[in-house]
Amino acid sequence: MATTSEPTPEFALAPYKERENDTLSERINEIRGVWGNRLVILGHHYQQDEVIIHSDLRGDSLRLSQLAADSRACRAIVFCGVHFMAETADILANRPDKLAERRGERVSVILPDMAAGCSMADMAQIDQVESAWEELGDWIDTKKLIPVTYINSTAALKAFCGRHQGIVCTSSNAERVLRWAFDQGERVFFFPDQHLGRNTAISMGIDPTQMPVWNPYADEAGGNTPDALRNSRVLLWKGHCSVHQMFTAAHVAQFREKFPDIKILVHPECPREVFEMADVSGSTAKIIDVVRQAPAGTQWAIGTELHLVNRLRQEHPEQEIHFLSPVVCMCATMYRIDLAHLCWSLENLNAATPVGKIEVDPEIATESLVALDRMLALS
Ligand code: 13P
Ligand code: SF4
């Protein structure tokens, strides 16, 4: 469980909400100037433009977790992302070897708005996971079941994976991680995103009929028959991303009909039928690379978060970029981090009354690190 310790803030949020963006940006730059390389602002690709321009480093979940682990001079990370990302940054930046290098001095990890959570991560609560594991023991040998959690999960779930010979994955390395998991055991329990788990396992040639979905709200056996569980290769947790779940096969078909040469490019958090109809799929970093490397004049319909697609459209006027859905699909929780929250959190950090401080419980951090290190060793 993550804990927060927040002394009474020197500065209240309300006045920052009233300020113009230029004024906020000016103050953000002043504070960054004072801190120099002791402060690192990290930004996920889905972050809105006015915020991301202030990030020192931007990336997908894997890259951001590696960057957090590599910080040397840094003493504070302000994470313009969501809660699980800040937890991961805290675990990696304050791991024992890094702490020893800094003679015990912790890196403060700040999430500018504590309400910036992830609905997918919230779909796999640790008590639900623990009771599912115990119940599964009635039908299969859980010693040969390897838990794999997407990085988009709570630190408590990562710790569970650390305790049970499991591992963390991201959308960039899910296939490599699943191969590792199958070297360790007979079958995998994949949390919390059923789509990433299913899409990756199908790409590896695993039979979709061997991927039952575990519904934590079902009365018994996660809503499955004992035979389905015994026959499984990958058990999928019933979780999804509310943003990527919005893209449908009908959207793909409409684009193909209107633009016969269009390339469909999607994130693997999209449902199976969308993933299967796409020309290319990959993490946010891969989506950016694929567009960068395409010849001018390429037509794209991209199925991932709106801010990233809009940014790609601005950065690549030589290409024709469409958003795959007619409705707005944006990460509403990440969007909570606006310039006002960023400026307000920096101001309080600067005044030594940090707000939005993320400090993972030490035992959870130690066990999570085991699962994260297994993944980082494969990267
Ligand atoms: P990646 O950045 O790993 O592609 O993940 C997308 C996402 O949903 C982040 O929350
Ligand atoms: Fe979570 Fe989806 Fe937002 Fe990513 S895009 S943080 S998975 S809700």
208 and 268, same domain (yes or no):
no
Query: How many structural domains does the chain have?
Result: 3
Query: Which residue, among 46, 378, 94, has the nearest Cα to 243 in the 3D structure?
Result: 46
Q: Closest Cα to atom 2, ligand 2: which residue?
A: 241
CA-85 nearest atom, ligand 1: 10
- pLDDT given for residue 69 in this prediction: 67
β strands within 35-85, DSSP E: 39-44, 57-59, 76-80
Summarize pLDDT for 36-77 with one digit per residue, the tens. Answer: 999 999 999 999 999 999 999 998 877 886 786 676 789 999
Closest Cα to atom 1, ligand 2: which residue? 118
CATH code for the domain of 143: 3.40.50
* pLDDT score for 180: 98
Residue 328 lies in a domain: no
With beta carbons less than 8 A apart as the criterion, state whether 281 and 264 touch.
no
Residue 197 inside a domain? The answer is: yes
* Domain presence at residue 376: no
Whole-angstrom Cα Rg for the chain:
21
Instruction: List the CATH number of the domain containing 10.
Output: 3.40.50.10800
d(CA 5, CA 194) in angstroms, rounded, equals: 34
Residues 139 and 230: beta-carbon distance below 8 Å? yes
Q: Is residue 372 part of a domain?
A: no
Indicate if 170 and 213 belong to the same structural domain.
Answer: yes
Same domain, residue pair 41 and 80: yes
**pTM for this one?**
0.95
pLDDT (tens digit per residue) in 314-348: 999 999 999 999 988 899 999 999 999 999 999 99
Sheet containing 320-323: which strands, arranged edge to edge? Answer: 280-281, 263-266, 299-303, 320-323
Q: Are residues 111 and 143 in the same domain?
A: no
Residues 59 and 148 in one domain: no
Residue 83 lies in a domain: yes
DSSP 90-144: HHHHT-HHHHHHTTTPPPEEE-S-TT---HHHHTS-HHHHHHHHHHHTTTS-GGG
Q: pLDDT at residue 176 above 50?
A: yes
Return the best residue to mutate from 48, 61, 82, 172 for the ligand 2 pocket (most ligand atoms within 8 A of CB): 82
Same domain (yes/no): 311, 354: no
> Looking at the structure, do residues 125 and 221 belong to the same domain, yes or no?
yes
For residues 154 and 209, membership in a common domain is answered with yes
Q: Compute the mean pLDDT over every residue in the chain, rounded to the nearest whole number.
A: 95
Q: Which residues pair with 109 in a beta bridge?
A: 77
Range of the structural domain that residue 310 is part of: 244-323
Residue at 374 is within a domain: no
pLDDT for 2 equals 45
* Same-domain check for residues 124 and 232: yes
Residues touching ligand 1 (Cβ under 6 Å) are: 60-62, 152, 170-171, 241, 269, 283-284
pLDDT at 3: 47
What average pLDDT does range 75-80 have in this prediction?
95
Per-residue pLDDT of 115-124, as tens digits, reads 999 999 999 9
The residue type at 323: F
